[in-house]
């Protein structure tokens, strides 16, 4: 049984994910600057986590819009990448 997504909800999701990618790129850049300035291991893990989180948002959209995956599978891919990025965040505060 497949859920029926309206065109409006897909457009809203696309807009929100675009904003999320833009903010993710900005946060990745900021964390890279912090790492480059301090060479601190925590900042390096933060940079990796932010980069992975941003990459996950991009890959989720790519899987859905370009590869034609169902929205559920594309979101599952995004969730799996989120788990990896949270692992990096844990390492940054450990």
CB contact set of 64 (below 8 Å; sequence gap of 6+): 70, 71, 74
The whole-number pLDDT of residue 4 equals 66
Query: Global pTM?
Result: 0.85
In total, how many domains does the chain have?
1
Q: DSSP code of 66?
A: T
The whole-number pLDDT of residue 39 equals 97
- 48 lies in some domain: yes
- 77 lies in some domain: yes
Q: Which domain holds residue 55?
A: 7-93
- 19 lies in some domain: yes
The whole-number pLDDT of residue 3 equals 65
Q: Does the structure show a pLDDT above 60 at 76?
A: yes
Q: Does the structure show a pLDDT above 90 at 5?
A: no
Arithmetic mean of pLDDT over the chain = 93
- Mean pLDDT of all residues in 41-54: 96
Please work out, in degrees rounded to the nearest 5, the angle formed at the alpha carbon of residue 81 by the alpha carbons of 79 and 23. Answer: 90
- 2 lies in some domain: no
Q: How many CA atoms lie within 13 A of 23 on its CB side?
A: 7
User: What distance in Å separates the CA atoms of residue 24 and residue 79, rounded to the nearest whole number?
Assistant: 16
């Amino acid at each position: 049984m497949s859920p029926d997504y309206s065109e409006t909800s897909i457009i809203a999701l696309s807009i929100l994910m675009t904003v999320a990618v833009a903010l993710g790129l900005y946060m990745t850049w900021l964390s890279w600057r912090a790492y480059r300035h301090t060479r601190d291991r925590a900042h390096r893990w933060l940079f990796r986590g932010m980069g992975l989180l941003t990459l996950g948002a991009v890959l989720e959209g790519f899987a859905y819009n370009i590869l034609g995956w169902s929205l559920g599978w594309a979101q599952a891919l995004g969730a799996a990448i989120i788990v990896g990025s949270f692992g990096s965040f844990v390492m940054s505060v450990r």
